[in-house]
Amino acid sequence: MDIWNSWWVLQTMQLLGLFSFWISFAKFRTLFSRAFGYGHKIVKGDSSAWIFVSLNGMVTVGSFLFFLLVISWAYFFAFPTSPSVIKSYETSNSSHSPVQSHEIPNRSHSFVQSHDIPNSSHSFAQSYDEILKSNVSMDKCNVFEGSWVRDDSYPLYDASHCPFAERGFNCLANGRKDRGYTKWRWKPKNCEIPKFDARRILEQLRGKRVVFVGDSLSRTQWESMICLLMTGVENKKSVYEIKGSKITKQIRFLGVRFSTFDVRIDFYRSVFLVKPGSVPRHAPQRVKTTLRLDKIDDISHEWIDSDVLIFNSGHWWTRTKLFDMGWYFQVGNSLKLGMPINSGFKTALLTWASWIENTINKNRTRVFFRTFESSHWSGQNHNSCKVTQKPWKRTNGRERSPISDMIKKVVNNMSGPVTVLHVTPMTAYRSDGHVGTWSDKPSVPDCSHWCLPGVPDMWNEILLSYLLPKEEAN
């Protein structure tokens, strides 16, 4: 046991404190009573009187300071106010809020986390040491705060041996010579993401349906997920697209089945998440199509029957892909020609949130929303793409995004549990991971999409860690 936690030490320090208080009190009393008596001697130059008063003053002040030190020590002993303990309480309570963006949850074999209130008598029975240990383990769950570390065990697959990796994302097959970008693993600041085990994950997903919904960045993550899981399958022919469709940029649905495990991994293209609409009567000529911000996408009914549901949106919410193409916002019967894009995106997110709350079975389906992925365009008009050979050492201001901030804010106000995969800061470093000119269209540089294998694999490792049982996630 720590000597400073000893009862005898506490009693001794208290006695010393009382003794020092008595000395300081007595000295103060005699010092003040004699001060005036010695004053005239000091004025007359009596040096002995000056020394006597000085020594008495030093003893008095020293005793008083020691008394204050003992009182302070006794206070912190009796009332430990460690910031980590307070943070532990707040974190444990916040685990019941809708947003779970900074922690690997402790899950049972079901994908949906229970929100039962813990037994209060048991909680109060915890010792101070137990609370502190609990806080340490919870602090380790902030998987999105960390750095990229070199790991030669990566990549986890060869895109050339994965039939579901688009040729346009297979940078090595398209002529990229340096392989360093495939050798980086995300390391959270205070913990480790569970080591990827394809076979274990497939067993965990047995009989489940995983659905990705979003734009081409969502399709990239979908392809990454399939390639990762295929490393745990012996018979590669047992993995197939259910309609025999080939991957294209405009296709609205792709579904891959792992027949041995009865697992489905589906992708739905819905770049705005809300419904495109026809042009209202008497609309200005510049209006070619409307985006019905108050109506969820027509194909949303196909997302419902799922066990894991992952959304993304953001890259299409730009002037060049909306207004310049004749797309304008509509709410109800009203055309919103002057609505800013950020306001339109927030309105669409609120429509999505309402649909989730009123449609999705929270007892079955685990819902995720991935934030905006940092792009690395440069130049005055953001049209220059320079892919580096190593990650940036700093985020250079790309760790924040208005799109990501809106996603987190809307999800935070939802009544049901939705987990935010806040990948914006971790992708900000990866200026080396983009397709660049190593795509199926080398004449068109690309600093938005990512090479496979690469950065999206890490998104999936984090995503899958949320689905592991408690003992494995820890």
DSSP tag of 193:
P
Q: Is the confidence at residue 264, as pLDDT, over 70?
A: yes
Cβ-count burial 392-406 (b if 16+ within 10 Å, e if not): eeeeeebbebebbeb
Residue 408: name the closest of 429, 423, 428, 427 by CA: 423
Which residue would you say has higher pLDDT here, 26 or 328? 328
Express each pLDDT in 279-315 by its tens digit. Answer: 998 899 999 999 999 999 999 999 999 999 999 999 9
Give the C-alpha separation, 296 to 304, whole Å. 13
- Beta strands 418-421 and 366-370 are parallel
The verdict on whether omega for the bond into residue 163 sits within 30 degrees of 0, i.e. cis, is: no
Taking only the tens place, the pLDDT of each residue in 385-425 is 999 999 988 777 777 789 999 999 999 999 989 999 999 99
The pLDDT value given to residue 64: 62
Measure the CA–CA gap between 256 and 157, rounded to whole angstroms.
Answer: 18
Q: What is the pLDDT of residue 311?
A: 98
> What is the average pLDDT value for the chain, to the nearest integer?
80
- What pLDDT score was predicted for residue 15? 61
Q: Is the pLDDT of residue 199 over 90?
A: yes
Looking at residue 101, its pLDDT comes to 43
Neighbours of 422 (CB within 10 A): 24
pLDDT digits (tens, 9 = 90+) for 173-197: 999 999 999 999 999 998 889 999 9
Burial (Cβ within 10 Å: 0-12, 13-18, ≥19) of residue 225: buried
Q: CB under 8 Å, gap of 24 or more: what pairs does 403-406 form?
A: 403/314, 403/317, 403/345, 403/371, 403/372, 404/314, 404/371, 404/372, 406/342, 406/345, 406/346, 406/349
Q: Between 259 and 8, name the one with better pLDDT.
A: 259
Position 155 pLDDT exceeds 90? yes
Are 349 and 372 in contact by the 8 Å Cβ rule? The answer is no
> How would residue 61 be classed by pLDDT, with cut points 50, 70 and 90?
low
Low-confidence winner among 247-251, 287-291, 365-369, 407-411 (lowest mean pLDDT): 247-251
The residue with tokens 């940029």 is: 249
pLDDT in tens, 62-112: 656 665 665 655 544 444 433 332 233 233 333 334 444 444 444 444 566
Per-residue model confidence (pLDDT) at position 124 = 33
Q: What would the mean pLDDT of 360-388 be, rounded to a whole number? A: 88
Q: Whole-angstrom Cα distance, residue 145 to residue 399? A: 11
Closest-CA residue to 71 (of 3, 18, 2): 18
Give residue 132's pLDDT: 31
Residue 41 in this model has a pLDDT that exceeds 60: no
Average pLDDT over residues 423-434: 94
Q: What is the pTM of this model?
A: 0.73
User: What percent of the chain has pLDDT above 90?
Assistant: 61
pLDDT in tens, 19-35: 555 555 555 455 445 54
What φ, ψ does residue 453 adopt, rounded to 5°? -70, 160
Can you give the pLDDT at residue 395? Answer: 76
